[in-house]
Amino acid sequence: MAVLKKPDLETLNSKTQEVFRRLRKHHPDATIELTFKSPLELLIATILSAQCTDVKVNEVTPKLFAKFKRPQDYVRRPVTEIEEIIKPTGFFRNKAKNIRGAVAKILAEYDGQVPRKMEELITLPGVGRKTANVILGNAFNTPGLPVDTHVTRLVNRIGLTWQTDAVKIEHELCAMLPKKNWTMFSHTLIFHGRRICNARKPACSICPITDLCDYFQENFKDGRAT
């Protein structure tokens, strides 16, 4: 196995931007896969997506959004009604509690509108930086770089950062990319992680960035993936 040296900052910046350029070309359809029609719907869908697939969330939310049409419905109806609908997403009691708490705070402090600033979003129950960045980038077109398990795995595997903490990864990546690319960089990595660079057995033979990837360089000396 080859032992690779950590590149200098300038080289790392160039590598990160080239990774994005190639993956963006390879996954031109990369976008958020949660279905929503408003910032509030995206907030709720993102809370539900914790430890759950987007596919499953998208199966659940139509029924939820049809029954809870207004923000007030989430606080006036029994929480058990929310729990019953979202049960297939897992951890449904805690998620229902967070949804109701977040909506209650939005109604009480933000005139019923999902706040548009990171520092305000992360005060809502169930909302951390990842969820806040999802909302900023996809509901308000404000650049944000959500770091989920796919992003964390890929940036470490490729060798764009050696951090494991999501917040530190976010800050490092944001420093290496133009602000306008933050949201799409996350989408593109997530698509690549789901379609090609999966956790158990990455499909290196069809990956467009093997020459830039530390994992490939360390494990395939002859330049060929098995």
CA angle, corner 129, sides to 43 and 196, nearest 5? 85
Q: Which of 5, 37, 95, 130 is catalytic?
A: 130
Express each pLDDT in 118-131 by its tens digit.
999 999 999 999 99
Q: Are residues 134 and 155 in the same domain?
A: no
The pLDDT confidence band at residue 79, using thresholds 50, 70 and 90, is very high
User: Do residues 150 and 206 make contact, with C-beta atoms less than 8 angstroms apart?
Assistant: no
Three-state secondary structure along 181-202? Answer: HHHHHHHHHHHHHHHCCCCCCC
Give domain status of residue 224, yes or no: no
Q: Are residues 100 and 159 in the same domain?
A: no
Q: Are residues 87 and 26 in the same domain?
A: no
At residue 14, the pLDDT reads 96
Catalytic, 130? Answer yes
Express each pLDDT in 167-206 by its tens digit.
999 999 999 999 999 999 999 999 999 999 999 999 999 9
Question: How many domains does one find in the chain?
Answer: 2
Q: Which of 29, 148, 201, 214 is catalytic?
A: 148
Catalytic, 148? Answer yes
Give domain status of residue 210, yes or no: yes
The pLDDT confidence band at residue 1, using thresholds 50, 70 and 90, is very low
* Res 57 pLDDT > 70: yes
Spatial CA neighbour of 66 closest among 85, 49, 87: 85
Q: Are residues 123 and 210 in the same domain?
A: no
Q: Are residues 126 and 101 in the same domain?
A: yes
Domain of 169, in residue numbers? 9-30+146-219
At residue 3, the pLDDT reads 47
Q: Are residues 192 and 167 in the same domain?
A: yes
The CATH number of the domain holding residue 152 is: 1.10.1670.10
* Res 87 pLDDT > 80: yes
At residue 9, the pLDDT reads 79
